[in-house]
Chains A and B, each alone.
Chain A
Amino acid sequence: MAVVQDVHGHVHGHPTGIMRWIGATNHKDIGTMYLCFSLTMLFIGGFLIMGVRAELFMPGMQIFEPEVFNSFTTLHGLIMVFGAIMPAFVGFANWQVPMMIGAPDMAFARMNNWSFWLLPVAASLLIGSFFVPGGAAAGGWTFYPPLSTQGGLGVDMMIFAIHILGASSIMGAINIITTILNMRAPGMTLMKMPMFVWTWLITAYLLVLVMPVLAGTVTMLLTDRHFGTSFFNAAGGGDPVLFQHVFWFFGHPEVYIMILPSFGIVSEVIPTFARKPLFGYSSMVYATASIAILSCIVWAHHMFSVGMPAAGQLFFMYATMLIAVPTGVKVFNWTATMWRGSMTFETPMLFAIGFILLFVIGGFSGVVCALVPVDIQVQDTYYVIAHFHYVLVSGSLFSLFAGAYYWLPKWSGRMYDETLGKWHFWLSMVFFNLTFFVQHFLGLAGMPRRIPDYALQFADFNMISSIGAFGFGLAQLLFVYIVIKCLRSGEKAPDMPWDGAKTLEWTHLPTPAPYHSFETPPVVKF
């Protein structure tokens, strides 16, 4: 096909060699690096938790010292959240946002590069901390003091890693906001933007709102550890619970940072494969915004057992439950989009439907957690673990798979193997539920989280869960195989592999997308 976009004047061409990646200013190259990085981190975080699941396979201590076990859990949480899921979404934003709004690139291309290249720095601090005296941080990904005031060098490395990750996220978010606000093609008004772009705009606002607070939090922890301040020390007038407030003021919006772009991806995939426009576009936008706003006033639902005054508990309970309403609107809109569509079920669609099904289960267990009395029982148990893996793994991760299969043809110009893709979906689906569904029971029956050994009545479910986890992990190897196979020997993709796709990257660009797209803005008519 004619690569019209490559005709340009003084604009530099196609950089090659190592500097193409190290110095990259092209949003597609940076997006690719983000995605590769995040896949690597998924494997590292997954590897850690496979160790945990192996230890939990049977009662008794088999593999780990308790402290090492705790550091595996801790680093699993941190690496998955900051290393796998968040960068993956930023990778999608890098690839897709400029193409979907008709922009030539991200607004700040060089800063974009730095946002990425900060990640390996942080990762090296996190992973390196396993090898220093005292070992890695072992206070959970929430690193509550005073426990985290006790740790050694590993905790400080984690703190600096978080500072750097925060800087990376803030720069990334500013870049995305600016790109969306300032670089849209003529005619692309805000209310015509694809849902994915909208969800990212709102996510980016959440990021600039809460990442600096996290930076402040870890800074206070650092000075408490080494410079004698008393933010989290009762003897000096501080309070360990203060940490939890500031941490969760970041932490709760953070979980929506990890789900809103998912909603965006699913809102692109469903209409395409239902061959029918997204139902209730504007209410989707408002629902996303409401979720983001509400997410800033619910943080203390992670702290129902710290002994807040009743008024506080009630306020946070009501606010939390309210989030079910806009989220419900989204689910209903997706259902209505599918209703009377003309559906086909390629892998992206399967993952999107799997996403809705399992995310709703995770949402329901979230609402159960939000009921203060019930949360008093399930807080810090495997019930919570089950809740958030339903929203994070079968939520965020599944939507990422949906998006990856959906856009892989656009990115690479080749088709993935549909049969293998379906295998990947069904294996993931089965093993995922095997792993995490039984954890609801474990939690209800009283198994606390973050323990390396457990009482005998929890034995059979833990074994099932571990088997499921190994199966789920192996199924992800299939994904890597599918991607490699697609890149090396996949069939050539047609310009429009999905007949229902309506967004600019499909309608206005050839497949694969040229290295420089939309150097002259397209004219967008709807």
Chain B
Amino acid sequence: MSQATEHYYVPAPSKWPIIGSTALVFMGFGAALTMNKLPLGYSLLGIGFAILVFMLFGWFGEVIRESQKGVYHAQEDRSFRWGMTWFIFSEVMFFAAFFGALFYMRTFSIPWLAGEGVGGVDHALLWPDFTGDWPTAGPGFADNFTPMGAWGIPAINTLLLLTSGVTITLAHWALQKNDRSGLKLWMLATIALGVTFLGFQIYEYGHAYADLNLKLTSGAYGSTFYMLTGFHGFHVTLGTIMLIVIYFRSAAGHFKPEHHFGFEGVAWYWHFVDVVWLGLFIFVYLV
């Protein structure tokens, strides 16, 4: 048919999904075994992870090749946008679960443990010495720790991420004006900011463990602090990897001023990571 190119692109059967599933079989069993300190765990986990990485390279590589071949038109482009939007939304909900836990502990469970509620009986019967001031490791843990202040590294990190939000937008503008060197320059800047952020975060964790006695096991504060910042850090890592991929694609001449969803998807993701960080800065570090 002559208008065949107008057709929505439906890819041919692909081996990548089943490879991904194979990876997850290994990883699922491997992780379960590892966590129960049973033999074979690490090996399975390692194999699974290797397969997963292979799959990601293969799958995304294929998408990129297709994109370069020009099979994606306006309608496919819209699909990608919807897809990315709702993917990011689902990520927001993932973080919401942890923010919700933090909120619940601070407004409900910790005051209850400190005796608020049922006529103060909690206090007398179970945890007589507990006052419930935040931050706390909870009534049952004797360990003392120092909470993480907001105005040191976290404030610097906030600046870094906010700046990176600006640089990636500058990169986007450059791309739209087809200014390839500007694009690459600002991309590099964004990546550098992301990596610096991660470096600071690693340093901060080291500092917390070594000097502040603040650990993942430090009760409510430790749990929420590490899980929230940890998952965020993990997302920054993913985002940075995506930025690096996009950088190399830009360097290879991919993306057109009017057609560059791959770039925009990563930019959206980066902004999302940025916004989550603002939530963290306020609710984990500040108040």
Question: Do A and B touch, yes or no (CB under 8 Å, in the complex)?
Answer: yes
Contact surface of A with B, Cβ cutoff 8 Å? 7-12, 15, 19-20, 22-26, 103-105, 107-111, 113-114, 117-118, 120-122, 124-125, 128, 152-153, 156-157, 160-161, 164, 170, 173-175, 177-178, 181-183, 208-213, 215-217, 219-220, 222-223, 225-231, 233-239, 241-242, 245-246, 249, 309, 519-520
Query: Complex: how many Å from CA A245 to CA B217?
Result: 22
Chain B residues with Cβ under 8 A from A212's Cβ? Answer: 90-94, 96-97
Please, could you name 17 A-B residue pairs with CB atoms under 8 Å apart, sorted by A?
A: A23-B12, A23-B15, A25-B10, A25-B12, A108-B79, A117-B20, A170-B90, A182-B78, A182-B79, A212-B94, A216-B98, A223-B216, A229-B222, A230-B138, A234-B109, A235-B139, A520-B3
Cα–Cα, bound, A212→B137 (Å) = 27
Q: Are B28 and A178 in contact (CB under 8 A)?
A: no
| Contact call A156/B100, Cβ cutoff below 8 A | no
Residue in contact with B216 in the complex, picked from A26, A117, A227, CB distance below 8 Å: A227
Give Cα A215 to B96, complex, Å: 11
A242 contacts B105, CB within 8 Å? yes
Work out how many contacts link A and B, with CB atoms closer than 8 A.
240
Segment at the interface with A among B30-38, B168-176, B185-193, B246-254: B30-38
User: What A residues does B104 contact at CB under 8 A?
Assistant: 239, 242, 245
* Residue pair A178, B83 in contact (C-beta under 8 Å): yes
A230 touches B86 (CB 8 A): no
- Asked whether A117 lies within 8 Å of B18 as measured between CB atoms, the reply is yes
Q: Which of B35, B83, B137, B221 contacts A108 (CB 8 A)?
A: B83
Is the C-beta of B25 less than 8 angstroms from some C-beta in chain A? yes
Q: Does B160 contact A (CB under 8 A)?
A: no
Question: Complex Cα distance A519/B82, Å?
Answer: 21
Q: Are A236 and B21 in contact (CB under 8 A)?
A: no
Chain B contacts for A118, CB-based, 8 A: 21, 24
Residue B7 CB within 8 A of the other chain: yes
Q: Does B75 contact A (CB under 8 A)?
A: yes
What is the bound-complex CA distance between A476 and B77, given in angstroms? Answer: 44
> With contacts A113-B17, A212-B94, A242-B109 known, what are 18 further pairs, Cβ within 8 A?
A8-B4, A104-B7, A109-B11, A117-B18, A121-B28, A128-B29, A156-B36, A164-B24, A181-B82, A182-B75, A209-B89, A212-B96, A213-B93, A213-B100, A219-B227, A227-B217, A230-B220, A237-B219
Q: Is B282 located at the chain interface by the 8 A CB criterion?
A: no
What is the chain B residue whose CB lies nearest that of A8?
B1
Tell me what chain B mostly uses at the interface: helix, strand, loop, or mixed. Answer: helix
Rounded to whole angstroms, the CA-CA distance of A235 and B79 in the bound complex is 48
Q: Which 9 A-B pairs have the closest CB atoms?
A: A235-B140, A216-B97, A237-B220, A23-B13, A237-B138, A9-B4, A236-B219, A228-B217, A114-B17
Note all chain B residues with C-beta closer than 8 A to A12: 12
Nearest residue, chain A, Cβ from B78: A182
Would you call B52 an interface residue if the criterion is a C-beta within 8 Å of the partner chain's C-beta atoms?
A: no
Instruction: Take A8-B1, A9-B1, A25-B13 as given contacts and tell me if A238 and B28 are in contact as well, using a CB distance cutoff of 8 Å.
Output: no
- Are A7 and B10 within 8 A (Cβ)? no
Kindly list chain A residues whose C-beta atoms are within 8 Å of the C-beta of B33: 153
- Residues of chain A within 8 A (CB-CB) of B86 are 173-174, 177-178, 208
**Which residues from chain B contact A241 at a C-beta distance below 8 Å?**
109
Output the nearest chain B residue to A179 by Cβ-Cβ distance.
B79
What is the distance, in angstroms, from B88's C-beta to the closest C-beta of chain A? Answer: 10
Task: Please classify how large the interface on chain B is, using the bins under 10, 10 to 19, 20 to 34, 35 or more.
Answer: 35 or more
- Supposing A208-B89, A245-B104 touch, asked if A213 and B75 sit within 8 A by C-beta, the answer is no
Which of B109, B138, B223 has most chain A Cβ within 10 Å? B223
Q: What is the bound-complex CA distance between A237 and B104, given in angstroms?
A: 10
Residues of B within 8 A of A215 (CB): 94, 97
Q: Which of A25, A174, A220, A249 contacts B83 (CB 8 A)?
A: A174
Contact across chains for A23 and B101 when beta carbons are under 8 A apart:
no
**Distance to closest chain A CB from B28 (angstroms):** 4
User: Which residue from A20, A181, A228 sits with its C-beta under 8 Å from B13?
Assistant: A20
Distance, CA A408 to CA B32, complexed state (A): 41
Contact: A157 with B28, CB < 8 Å? Answer: yes
> Which residues of B are found within 8 Å of A121, using beta-carbon distances?
21, 24-25, 28
- For residue B148, CB closer than 8 A to chain A, the reply is no
Which chain B residues in 140-195 approach chain A with CB under 8 Å?
140-141
The interface residues of chain B lying within 8 Å CB-to-CB of A25 are 10-14
Q: Which residue of B lies closest to A155 (CB)?
A: B32
Chain B 214-255 interface residues, beta-carbon cutoff 8 Å to A = 215-217, 219-223, 226-227
Contact yes or no, B35 A156, CB < 8 A: yes
User: B87 contacts the other chain (Cβ, under 8 Å)?
Assistant: yes
Q: CA–CA, A436 to B113, complex, Å?
A: 41
Measured between beta carbons, the chain B residues less than 8 angstroms from A10 are 4
Interchain CB contact (< 8 A) of B18 among A23, A183, A211, A213: A23
Is B203 an interface residue, CB under 8 A from the partner?
no
Q: Are A160 and B32 in contact (CB under 8 A)?
A: yes
* Contact partners of B28 in chain A: CB under 8 A: 121-122, 125, 157, 160-161, 164
In the bound assembly, the distance between CA atoms of A230 and B38 in angstroms comes to 24
Chain B residue nearest to A521 (CB atoms) is B8
Q: Which residues of A contact B11 (CB under 8 A)?
A: 25, 109-110
- B226 → chain A, closest Cβ, in Å? 8
CB closest residue in chain A, given B12: A12
Q: Are B8 and A246 in contact (CB under 8 A)?
A: no
The smallest beta-carbon distance between B110 and chain A, in angstroms, is 5
Indicate if the CB atoms of A213 and B15 lie closer than 8 Å.
Answer: no
Which single member of A170, A229, A519 contacts B227 (CB below 8 Å)?
A229
Check B97–A239 contact: CB distance below 8 A: no
Nearest B residue to A24, CB-CB: B13
Our pick among B1, B24, B220 for the contact of A238 (Cβ within 8 Å) is B220
| Closest partner residue, chain B, to A211 (CB atom) | B90
